[in-house]
């Protein structure tokens, strides 16, 4: 077999491996990242899911873990609205199909069995737990304590499910305690407060896990069993396990003869981040390294918030773990492993840690990915990049994410694309926000770099410092078949018309781009994401910042899973927030505000920034209406929203032009 | 203010008055709360929510020992009334939301101006000095009008892998 150029550069990652009696072609494991909410409500795998798993099978990973399926007929183990079930033979045909896809692609097939415990019973009025410890997140169900008979039944259900998976053609199985599921509930001091043989000492708390391992091993003796265990729960301050205890529990699993430990981090309800954008890639690698050091004879898989194959290659070289377990990076770019093998890493669409995927699962919606608009739409032609039947000349106005996504998608289909932008570089406002972002600037700027690389490789022409106007368009008449307006949005200054001295206010977008200077005492009017990003970055740089917001709450337009992060930053940075408050007057010394209850106050400031809601830039729709054959729009210039909508709409439009 | 007795949320009139002012100052957050909605606050040490001690606490309660005292915050006509109550286990707490706060954090809150107490509670929740339990589903809590308050405390209203 010929070695590809990227494989030579990442020799550890692309080295063949082995689990039990099964050989893997490389040391990359597709992590169980596939609870998708695409399936039937009774747990049967849907056509949409099958199409998705076909893509997963083709990712090039040496080992592929199929989504966590719940093992019990009642659904006490069911965590997600449309989660897959494996408690009955009637589900076998689809599992067989998936195992077939994985084998066809030359990978080892692992089926995960996921009993959600504390986070389960999603269709029931309760969940089951080792002890009655109420929920801290209202999404989940009130608890019922498991009897010893219940425990035995659940162990049996797991063993039967494992047998079923093997009958369907899977090579091995995996059980998971990721993010606080049943296994984690027994292991944890927080949720296991039993006084019988299953609670109390760490030996007793680990009994359920040991019985689970024994049960599955006896049911499927010739097949590997993988266990996902927390290296850190991040629950210790609430009475959960310490990191040391987590490793003691791993020791118990090793002593029971598991074939691989997949090290994970965090619980759903943990008060801190584990895999969000504010966690630097590689942050948790030390947990895997500790596991490898303690258990040199057991395979260790790891990958939480480790999105870069180069870093993974290095970790394997240093002996920190044996398999790179990837999840979200392969949602964002299913071609990641192939691009790495072909030395085309510059073309990778990186997972930016936005957690749009998981946020949607908790709204009982199918998951989607900010960076991969085709995810979950694999059977729909409207989402496929196919050669265009008629090759067109396309003019895109605006080099932000919506315009560029549309441009590269259309170019991939064979169209000729020219992009105009009034600025002198691509990325639009995203460049500015990326620079100011406190979470991880590199994540957002990687999107801009991706567009830089792809427009270059696809021959998309970009004309900078060129404002699209009717005059310019008249000069371009008949040179293009299609125009796409992706001109973004602007701060709606008209909303401030009633404010005396509004002319003194700076525009948040100008501030974000660094086009205007700001002082030491700043008032930001508007606490949506733009206002917050600007306020936080100025406070970080040492300014005293106050936010004034008419609404009851800040971060109204921020994704649910990231609102808390902004609230925390605002607090940590000492930013004062005046909600349900309006600006009346801007003067040389600051702003006069009035609260909903009528309380008036002067807030001293040398800089006042308008970050009120945005207005779409739609004038060009009217200007160009009679000048071009096809006129379309996408992104914020239709309705101001955010990055997800921009990328997804740009892509969908690019697919159908 | 009286000294803090370990494990017991001080229930003297001054402390109750302090909490009443806290809620009165933030009345806007509770204006939409359905009448009869109730939250509880107990000292975490008394609750036995510390790993390994919960079962003993429950057993003692079932055996008839007096439960720890609980401060109850009850919604009435758009405002919160602070009352005294007894905490008798999760199942019978009679509250929708329960805060279990470390003694030191409770003492800190008592020393703060009323305007700063909810901010301190929020911080305590973030740092793990306070725990938070819910006894209703998110839809029930939303219907009861809790969303603003929970959001202000920075609590993810939905399950959140983060
Ligand atoms: C949409 C989604 C679904 C997931 N489903 C599962 C699952 O079924 N079982 C599991 O153990 N972990 C699941 N995970 C966790 C991942 O396997 C992984 O541990 C986590 O995303 C961190 O790794 P990453 O940084 O590579 O994404 C899921 C994660 C995501 C984002
Ligand atoms: S939605 Fe965000 S976090 Fe999830 S895979 Fe896509 S880019 Fe990564």
pLDDT in tens, A429-445: 999 999 999 988 899 99
pLDDT tens-digit profile of B89-145?
A: 777 778 999 898 888 898 888 888 888 898 889 888 877 788 888 888 878 888 898
Nearest to A432 by CA among A467, A466, A400: A400
Q: What is the pLDDT of residue A75?
A: 96
Burial class for A606, CB neighbours closer than 10 Å (0-12, 13-18, 19+): middle
Nearest to A135 among B28, B133, B154 (CB): B133
Residue, of A1 and A10, whose pLDDT is higher: A10
Query: Helix, strand or coil for residue A259?
Result: coil
Q: Where are the beta strands (DSSP E) in chain B?
A: 38-43, 69-76, 79-86, 97-101, 130-134
Sign of the torsion angle spanned by Cα atoms A90, A375, A83, A336: positive
Is residue A376 in some structural domain? no
pLDDT tens-digit profile of A596-605?
A: 888 999 999 9
> Residue B132: closest CA among chain A residues belongs to which residue?
A136
Residue A298, ligand 2, Cβ within 6 A: no
Instruction: Kindly determine whether residue B51 and residue A193, on different chains, have CB atoms separated by under 8 Å.
Output: yes
Q: What is the pLDDT of residue B59?
A: 54
User: Please, where are the H alpha helices in A318-461?
Assistant: 328-332, 336-341, 356-361, 401-412, 429-436, 441-458
Write out chain B residues lying below 8 Å of A358, CB-based. Answer: 160-161
| A129 lies within 8 A of chain B by CB | no
Percent of chain A, pLDDT > 90?
Answer: 83
Our mutation pick for probing the ligand 1 site, out of A32, A79, A311, counting the most ligand atoms within 8 A of Cβ, is: A32
Same domain for A99 and A13: yes
Is residue A237 in some structural domain? yes
Between CA A453 and CA A466 the distance in angstroms is: 21
Write out chain B residues lying below 8 Å of A140, CB-based. Answer: 159
Indicate the average pLDDT of chain A. 94
pTM of the model: 0.89
Q: What is the pLDDT of residue B2?
A: 36
| B88 lies within 8 A of chain A by CB | no
pLDDT (mean) for A27-35: 88
Nearest to B161 among A133, A239, A355 (CB): A355
Between CA A96 and CA A90 the distance in angstroms is: 11
Same domain for A114 and A259: yes
Nearest atom in ligand 1 to A31's CA: 17
Chosen for mutation from B104, B125, B159 (greatest number of chain A CBs closer than 10 Å) is: B159
What is the CATH code of the structural domain delimited by B13-144? 3.30.1050
Is residue A48 in some structural domain? yes
Same domain for A26 and A160: yes
| A266 lies within 8 A of chain B by CB | yes
Number of domains in chain A: 3
pLDDT above 70 for B28: yes
Q: What is the pLDDT of residue B53?
A: 44
Is residue A367 in some structural domain? no
Separation in Å, CA of A554 to nearest CA in chain B: 9
Residue having the nearest C-alpha atom to atom 30 of ligand 1: A33
Nearest to B51 among A142, A190, A271 (CB): A190
Please give the backbone phi and psi of residue A460, each rounded to the nearest 5 degrees, phi first: -80, 125
Q: What is the pLDDT of residue B1?
A: 35
Write out chain A residues lying below 8 Å of B52, CB-based. Answer: 189, 193, 200, 239
Our mutation pick for probing the ligand 2 site, out of A365, A371, A444, A565, counting the most ligand atoms within 8 A of Cβ, is: A371
Percent of chain A, pLDDT > 70?
Answer: 100
Chosen for mutation from A80, A138, A204, A235 (greatest number of chain B CBs closer than 10 Å) is: A138
Same domain for A398 and A349: no
Is residue A366 in some structural domain? no
Burial class for B65, CB neighbours closer than 10 Å (0-12, 13-18, 19+): exposed
Q: What is the pLDDT of residue A139?
A: 80
Please give the residue range of the domain that contains residue A572.
Answer: 492-615
pLDDT above 60 for B160: no
Same domain for A334 and A422: no
Our mutation pick for probing the ligand 2 site, out of A35, A333, A351, counting the most ligand atoms within 8 A of Cβ, is: A351
> Residue B29: closest CA among chain A residues belongs to which residue?
A552
Between CA B84 and CA A195 the distance in angstroms is: 32
pLDDT above 90 for A36: no
Q: What is the pLDDT of residue B52?
A: 40
Same domain for A251 and A128: yes
Binned at pLDDT 50, 70 and 90, residue A54 comes out as: very high
pLDDT tens-digit profile of A83-99?
A: 999 999 999 999 999 99
Q: What is the pLDDT of residue A191?
A: 93
Same domain for A265 and A411: no
| A130 lies within 8 A of chain B by CB | no
ipTM value, please give it: 0.71
Q: What is the pLDDT of residue B3?
A: 37
Binned at pLDDT 50, 70 and 90, residue A548 comes out as: very high
Residue, of A2 and A542, whose pLDDT is higher: A542
Q: What is the pLDDT of residue A106?
A: 97
Residue A351, ligand 2, Cβ within 6 A: yes
Is residue A504 in some structural domain? yes
pLDDT tens-digit profile of A491-546?
A: 999 999 999 999 999 999 999 999 999 999 999 999 999 999 999 999 999 999 99
pLDDT (mean) for A102-107: 98
pLDDT (mean) for A586-595: 96
pLDDT (mean) for A274-292: 93
Q: What is the pLDDT of residue B6?
A: 40
Instruction: Kindly determine whether residue A274 and residue B161, on different chains, have CB atoms separated by under 8 Å.
Output: yes
pLDDT above 80 for B54: no
Q: Are strands A17-19 and A22-24 parallel, antiparallel or unpaired?
A: antiparallel
With beta carbons less than 8 A apart as the criterion, state whether A142 and A125 touch: yes
Domain ranges of chain B: 13-144
Indicate the average pLDDT of chain B. 76
Nearest atom in ligand 2 to A275's CA: 3
Q: What is the pLDDT of residue A478?
A: 87
Q: What is the pLDDT of residue B56?
A: 53
H or E segment and range at residue B27: helix B27-30
Lowest mean pLDDT among A157-166, A563-572, B76-85: A563-572
pLDDT above 80 for A29: yes
pLDDT (mean) for A342-357: 92
Same domain for A441 and A322: no
Q: What is the pLDDT of residue A249?
A: 98
Lowest mean pLDDT among A374-378, A560-564, B23-27: A560-564
pLDDT above 80 for A589: yes
Residue A328, ligand 1, Cβ within 6 A: yes
pLDDT above 80 for A121: yes
Binned at pLDDT 50, 70 and 90, residue B51 comes out as: very low
Write out chain B residues lying below 8 Å of A131, CB-based. Answer: 54-55
Same domain for A159 and A35: yes
Nearest to A138 among B54, B129, B137 (CB): B137
Between CA B82 and CA B79 the distance in angstroms is: 10
Q: What is the CATH number of the domain that holds A349?
A: 3.20.20.70
| B94 lies within 8 A of chain A by CB | no
Between the CA of residue A37 and those of A34, A45, A192, B2, what are the distances in Å?
9, 10, 29, 54
Separation in Å, CA of A59 to nearest CA in chain B: 24
pLDDT (mean) for A260-266: 97
- Provide the β-strand partners of residue B82: B73
Q: What is the CATH number of the domain that holds A436?
A: 3.40.50.720
Same domain for A535 and A395: no
Lowest mean pLDDT among A9-13, A477-481, A616-620, B14-18: B14-18
Same domain for A87 and A220: yes
pLDDT (mean) for A598-614: 96
Is residue A203 in some structural domain? yes
pLDDT (mean) for A625-645: 95
Q: What is the pLDDT of residue A562?
A: 78
Question: Which tokens is A247 given?
Answer: 């490793």
Q: What is the CATH number of the domain that holds A598?
A: 3.50.50.60
Binned at pLDDT 50, 70 and 90, residue A571 comes out as: confident
Residue A36, ligand 2, Cβ within 6 A: no
pLDDT above 50 for A292: yes
Question: Which tokens is A225 given?
Answer: 């069993």
Nearest atom in ligand 2 to A355's CA: 3
Binned at pLDDT 50, 70 and 90, residue A136 comes out as: confident
Is residue A186 in some structural domain? yes
pLDDT above 60 for B158: no
Query: Helix, strand or coil for residue A541?
Result: coil
> Residue A195: closest CA among chain B residues belongs to which residue?
B55
Q: What is the pLDDT of residue B65?
A: 53
| A139 lies within 8 A of chain B by CB | yes
Same domain for A529 and A416: no
pLDDT tens-digit profile of A403-429?
A: 999 999 999 999 999 999 999 999 999
Nearest to A206 by CA among A222, A225, A230: A230
Residue A354, ligand 2, Cβ within 6 A: yes
Q: What is the pLDDT of residue B12?
A: 57
Q: What is the pLDDT of residue A386?
A: 96
């Amino acid at each position: 077999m010929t070695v590809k150029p990227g494989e030579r550069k990442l020799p550890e990652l692309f080295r063949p491996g082995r689990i039990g009696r099964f050989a893997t072609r490389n040391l990359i494991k597709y992590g169980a990242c596939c609870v998708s909410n695409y399936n039937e409500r009774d747990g049967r795998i849907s056509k949409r899911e099958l199409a998705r798993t076909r893509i997963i099978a083709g990712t090039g990973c040496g080992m592929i873990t199929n989504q966590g399926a719940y093992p019990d007929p009642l659904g006490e183990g069911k965590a997600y609205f449309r989660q897959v079930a494996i408690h009955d033979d009637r589900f076998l045909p689809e599992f067989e199909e998936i195992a077939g896809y994985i084998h066809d692609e030359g990978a080892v097939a692992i089926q995960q069995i996921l009993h959600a415990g504390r986070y389960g019973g999603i269709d029931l009025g309760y969940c089951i737990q080792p002890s009655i410890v109420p929920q801290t997140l209202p999404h989940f169900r009130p608890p019922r304590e498991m009897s010893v008979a219940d425990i035995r039944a659940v162990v049996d259900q797991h063993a039967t499910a494992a047998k079923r998976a093997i009958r369907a053609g899977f090579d091995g199985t995996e059980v998971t305690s990721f993010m606080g599921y049943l296994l984690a509930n027994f292991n944890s001091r927080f949720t296991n407060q039993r006084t019988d043989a299953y609670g109390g000492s760490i030996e007793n708390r680990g009994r359920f896990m040991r019985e689970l391992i024994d049960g599955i091993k006896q049911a499927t003796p010739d097949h590997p069993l993988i266990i996902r265990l927390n290296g850190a729960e991040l629950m210790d301050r609430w009475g959960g396990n310490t990191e040391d205890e987590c490793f003691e529990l791993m020791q118990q699993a090793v002593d029971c003869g598991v074939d691989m430990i997949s090290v994970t981090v965090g619980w759903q309800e943990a008060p801190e981040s584990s895999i969000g954008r504010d966690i630097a890639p590689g942050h948790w690698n030390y947990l895997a390294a500790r596991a490898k050091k303690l258990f040199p004879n057991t395979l260790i898989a790891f990958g939480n918030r480790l999105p870069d194959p180069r870093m993974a290659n290095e970790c394997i070289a240093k002996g920190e773990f044996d398999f790179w377990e990837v999840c979200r990076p392969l949602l964002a770019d299913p071609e990641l492993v192939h691009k790495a093998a072909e030395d085309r890493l510059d073309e990778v669409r990186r997972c930016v840690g936005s957690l749009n995927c998981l946020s949607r699962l908790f709204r009982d919606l199918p998951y989607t990915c900010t960076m991969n608009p085709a995810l979950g739409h694999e059977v729909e032609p409207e989402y496929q990049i196919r050669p265009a039947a008629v090759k067109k000349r396309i003019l895109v106005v605006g080099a932000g994410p919506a315009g560029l996504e549309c441009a590269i998608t259309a170019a991939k289909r064979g169209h000729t694309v020219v992009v105009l932008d009034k600025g002198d570089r691509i990325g639009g406002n995203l460049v500015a926000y990326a620079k100011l972002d406190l979470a991880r600037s590199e994540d957002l700027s990687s999107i801009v770099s991706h567009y830089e690389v792809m427009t270059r490789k696809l021959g998309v022409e970009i004309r900078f410092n060129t404002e699209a106007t009717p005059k310019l368009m008249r000069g371009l008449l008949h040179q293009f078949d299609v125009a796409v307006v992706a001109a973004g949005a602007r701060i709606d200054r008209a909303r401030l018309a009633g404010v005396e001295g509004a002319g003194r206010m700076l525009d948040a977008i100008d501030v974000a781009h660094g086009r205007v200077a700001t002082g030491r005492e700043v008032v930001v009017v508007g606490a949506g994401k733009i206002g917050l990003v600007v306020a936080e970055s100025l406070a970080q740089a040492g300014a005293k910042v106050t936010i004034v917001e008419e609404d009851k709450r800040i971060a109204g337009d921020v994704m649910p899973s990231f609102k808390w992060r902004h609230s925390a930053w605002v607090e940590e940075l000492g930013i004062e927030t005046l909600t349900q408050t309006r600006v009346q007057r801007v003067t040389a010394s600051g702003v006069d505000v009035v609260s909903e209850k009528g309380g008036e106050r002067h807030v001293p400031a040398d800089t006042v920034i308008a970050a009120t809601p945005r207005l779409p830039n739609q004038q060009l729709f009217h200007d160009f209406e009679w000048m071009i054959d096809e006129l379309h729009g996408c992104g914020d210039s239709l309705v101001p929203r955010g990055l997800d909508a921009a990328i997804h709409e740009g892509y969908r439009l690019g697919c159908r032009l | 203010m009286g000294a803090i007795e370990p494990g017991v949320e001080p229930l003297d009139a001054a402390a109750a008055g302090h909490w009443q002012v806290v809620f009165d100052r933030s009345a806007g957050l509770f204006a939409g709360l359905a009448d009869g909605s109730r939250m509880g606050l107990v000292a975490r040490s008394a609750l036995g929510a510390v790993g390994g001690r919960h079962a003993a606490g429950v057993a003692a309660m079932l055996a008839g020992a007096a439960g720890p005292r609980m401060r109850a915050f009850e919604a009435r006509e758009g405002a919160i009334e602070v009352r005294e109550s007894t905490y008798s286990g999760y199942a019978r707490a009679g509250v929708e939301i329960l805060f279990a706060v470390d003694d030191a954090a409770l003492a800190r809150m008592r020393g703060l101006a009323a305007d700063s107490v909810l901010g301190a509670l929020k911080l305590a929740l973030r740092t793990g000095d306070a725990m938070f339990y819910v006894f209703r589903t998110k839809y029930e809590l939303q219907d009861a009008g809790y969303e603003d308050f929970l959001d202000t405390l920075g609590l993810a209203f939905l399950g959140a892998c983060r």
